[in-house]
Structure 1
C-alpha cells in the first residue's frame, strides 16, 4: 500500500515528548501497512483483528496496546492509505466530534 503521509505520524511523536512511546508501535504499523495488499476491509481485519472498520473507507487502528488511535482513509482500488489522525483517546474523541459535527 502507498501511505500518505508518514510525516503526520512523525510529527505526533517528535513534537510532543510525552508521545515518544508511540514511535515504535506506529512505525511497526507503518511497515506492515506499506507491505500490505488490502483490496477490501476484510483484508484489513485479517491483518488487524482489532481494527474498527467505519463507513466510507475509514479505519481506526489501536496503537501501543490501545493507548493511541490511528484513523486512516483507504482507497482500496488505488491501494492508498491516507493518514487522517493519530492521538490519544481524549484527542480522538475531540477529533471524532469535530469530524462529524
Structure 2
C-alpha cells in the first residue's frame, strides 16, 4: 500500500520522540502490505479497528493512536491524525468531514 503522507509521522516524532520507532515500524509494514479489507489489516494488527470511515491503530502499547483512511481499491493509506491517547479520547478528530 502507498502511505500518504509520511511527513505527518515525522512531524509527530519531533514532539513525541518515544513514538518514532513504533511509527516507523508501522510505516514499513504497511507500505509493503496488500490489504484488501479490515480483516486483512487485523491479521497484521489485531487491535486495529474501524471507527467511522477511518481505521485506528494502537501505537506503542496504546499510548498513541494513528488514524488513517484506508482505500483498498487504490491500495492507498492516507494518514489523517497521530494523537496521544488523551487527545484521541477528546473525540475532536471525529469532527473531520470524512468521518
Quick check: TM above 0.5? yes
Aligned twin of 1:75: 71
2:4 equivalent to 1:4 = yes
CA distance in 2, matches of 1:89, 1:20: 15
SS across alignment from 1:38: coil
- C-alpha displacement at 1:55, in angstroms? 3.7
Aligned length: 97
Structure 1, unmatched stretches of 5+, are none
- C-alpha displacement at 1:82, in angstroms? 0.3
- C-alpha displacement at 1:87, in angstroms? 1.3
Which runs of structure 1 show a deviation greater than 6 angstroms over 4 or more consecutive aligned residues? Answer: none
CA distance in 1, matches of 2:50, 2:35: 13
Deviation per residue, 1:74-101 (Å, 9 max, x gap): 110000000000010121133335337x
Structure 2, unmatched stretches of 5+, are none
Aligned twin of 1:49: 46
Tell me the TM-score normalized by structure 1: 0.87
Task: Compute the RMSD of aligned alpha carbons.
Answer: 1.7
Aligned twin of 1:20: 17
Tell me the TM-score normalized by structure 2: 0.89
